Each structure stands twice: as structure tokens, then as C-alpha cells.
Amino acid sequence: MRLQSFSKEGAKLYICSTPIGNLEDVTHRLLRTLAEADVVAAEDTRQTRKLLTRYEIRAKSLISFHEHNATRQVPVLQETWMRGGVVALVTDAGTPCVSDPGDVAIAAAHASNVPVVPIPGASAVLAALIISGLPMKRFAFHGFLSKSTATAMDELRSYEMYDGTVVFYEAPHRLLATLRAIAQVFPGRSMSICKELTKRHETVWRGSSEELLKEFESEDIRGEYAIVLNTADVAPFVDEESRTQVEQEGQARADFALQEVLRMLAGGLSMRDATALAAKQYAMSRKVLYRAALDATHTQTMQDFMSPAQDGDEKSQPE
């Protein structure tokens, strides 16, 4: 979509973070921005009206702006900016563009030379992180895993070499499948699962990936969930015997996968195809297995190369 570039004095797009559950989690700046904006573009006008009503704000213009109508609504934003007006973009909860709509509006503003201004506020990602008790020096936000089981497993495996903490979002009807996948790819890792953050029924669970899977297999699963996973270390509260078992099982799985790759290579399969098949079969990172297979084949090649030379040296020695 090509937009005419223009800049009108006073025109702005405010990206507004709204409460993720508790309507008291607002800032004075957010309320002032919503009250003064010429247009409030909302993912769901019904949800936004609840916030506006709570703080007795009468929006000058409240329009629907979501992933299904964003392209059609861009001209409304353009017209507002042409008049030097201000647009406030909000989603149902949290920050636009963080697993929520908003990128179309921001792209349109940049293309039109209109300043984009953040109005920081509540964030489920950060809320889940700070109460998880897991390391936060380095973290990644993934959002929702793919609905395809195979793709979701690949997405999880992509973090096998990540030395940090990862945050996922999940819907109640898919939570168990996601926890099973996490337990398979990351056995024994520390986790935290947060439900209904900032709401009346806010609940937080902590444990290993296997423990939390077992817990939720008997749990009444309702609400919205944020999963915080430490991909780096085995859970510190796992006893030493269990820790050793987890580590041994992981090493055994890697050994079996490597042997399977070498067997397929001997049968004429390419390195790429062999590692892809074995990684899927043994629930391993394709990249990690590929490197291990390269190292193994390189070592074998060097041994084959050195063996004749060593035999010759032995024969040349005097008796």
C-alpha cells in the first residue's frame, strides 16, 4: 500500500498502552491523551468504551480499527492527520503490536511523515516476567506458538541454544498441548505460568516443565495464560537424582539421534535431509544435531586419513 507523504503541524499517532485487566492500571498521560485525541482508533470499541466510561471520558470520535478492517480505515487516519489532528491507537488490553493489531497504523503514520509517540503502560509480558522468579537479564518474547503442532515444535526447538528466558502467550483450549510440547523439548526446565494477570482471579504456578504439565492435566483451564520458560538451566528445585536423570535422558536422546543421522548418511541421504528427519524423530534442535553430525563426520574423516600414516610409521621402525 503506497501512501502520499505529508507532514501537518500537530498531527500525531499515539500508541496507547491500556490496562490488561485492572482498570486502575492507567496513567494520567493515557487519560489525557484519550480525552484530547481527535480520533480514538480501537480494536474493539465496546471494550474501549468500558475504559472511557470508567474515567468519564467522552471521546471526540471513536472508530473501529482491527486486523480485519485496518487497511480500509487508514484513510480515516490520513484525513485526521491532514487536518493536523491526533489519533490515539488502543487495543483491547495492553500495548498495540505486542501480539495485538497496530502495525498497519504505525506504517501509515511513518509513510505520511507523522510522528509516532508511545504512551507506555501495562504489559502482560513484563508483568509475567517480574513475578516469575526466573532470570530476566536476557529474555525473548515469542507470543503465541503456531497452531500447527509440527511448526510449534520447530519454534520451540529454535530456543534450545538460547541462554535466557522466553515468554509465550496461550489460549485455554491449547494450553495442555503447548505444555506437553515444552516438556518434551525442555525437560526439567524452570517455568512459571500466570493466569488472568491483574484480574480478580490472578494465579501464578511455578515448577519444572513436567510438574506444571502434570498440574494442569488436572486443572480447570480457563482464562488467559502467560508462560515464562527458562530455556537455559534445569529447574533449581528439581532434586539431584531427577536432575541427573533429566541430563542423562537428554544426552541419550542426542546420542541416538546422532547415530541415526550417521546411519542415514551411510545409506546415501544428504546431511540436510538426514538431520531434519532425525531431529523430528528425537525432538531435537535441527541446528544442534547438524553441527554434531558435522563434527562426527569430520572426526571420522581425520581418523581414516591418519590411520594409514600411522601404519606406515610402525613398519618403518627397526625390529
- Looking at the domain assignment, is residue 1 inside a domain? no
Write down the pLDDT at residue 318.
38
pTM of the full structure: 0.71
Write down the pLDDT at residue 82.
95
Q: How many domains does the chain have?
A: 3
The CA-CA-CA angle for residues 131, 226, 49, to 5°, reads 100
Pairing of the two strands 165-170 and 139-144: parallel
Q: What is the mean pLDDT of residues 97-112?
A: 92
> Could you give the residue ranges of the DSSP H alpha helices within the chain?
28-36, 45-54, 70-82, 103-111, 124-132, 149-157, 175-185, 209-217, 240-266, 271-281, 286-316
Write down the pLDDT at residue 312.
45
- CATH at residue 60: 3.40.1010.10
CB atoms within 10 A of CB 316: 7
Residues 138 and 214 reside in one and the same domain = yes
Q: What is the pLDDT of residues 184-213, one digit of tens each?
A: 999 889 999 999 999 988 999 999 999 999
Residues 6+ apart with CB under 8 A from 172: 221, 222, 223, 224, 225
φ, ψ of residue 234 to 5 degrees: the values are: -65, 145
- Print the domain residue range for 298: 240-305
The CA-CA-CA angle for residues 231, 234, 236, to 5°, reads 120
Residues 225 and 297 reside in one and the same domain = no
Q: Which residue has the higher pLDDT, 15 or 253?
A: 15
- Going by pLDDT thresholds of 50, 70 and 90, the confidence category of residue 311 is very low
Residues 129 and 229 reside in one and the same domain = yes
Report how far residue 115's alpha carbon sits from residue 10's, in angstroms, rounded to the nearest whole number: 9
- Looking at the domain assignment, is residue 5 inside a domain? no
Query: 208: which strand partners?
Result: 190
Q: Which residue has the higher pLDDT, 248 or 39?
A: 39
CB atoms within 10 A of CB 237: 12
Residues 254 and 220 reside in one and the same domain = no
| 29-33, 201-205, 311-315: segment of lowest average pLDDT | 311-315
What letter does residue 18 receive in the DSSP assignment? B
Mean pLDDT over the full length of the chain: 86
- Going by pLDDT thresholds of 50, 70 and 90, the confidence category of residue 56 is very high
Is residue 128's pLDDT more than 90? yes
Residues 60 and 143 reside in one and the same domain = no
- Looking at the domain assignment, is residue 289 inside a domain? yes
Is residue 1's pLDDT more than 60? no
φ, ψ of residue 206 to 5 degrees: the values are: -135, 145
Is residue 303's pLDDT more than 80? no
Q: Is the dihedral of CA 270, 276, 279, 282 positive or negative?
A: negative
Amino acid at 295: D
What letter does residue 68 receive in the DSSP assignment? T
Q: What is the pLDDT of residues 67-99, one digit of tens each?
A: 999 999 999 999 999 999 999 999 999 999 988
| 22-31, 186-195, 249-258: segment of lowest average pLDDT | 249-258
Residues 218 and 254 reside in one and the same domain = no
Is residue 242's pLDDT more than 80? no
Residues 149 and 66 reside in one and the same domain = no
What letter does residue 124 receive in the DSSP assignment? H
Residues 93 and 104 reside in one and the same domain = yes
Is residue 297's pLDDT more than 60? yes
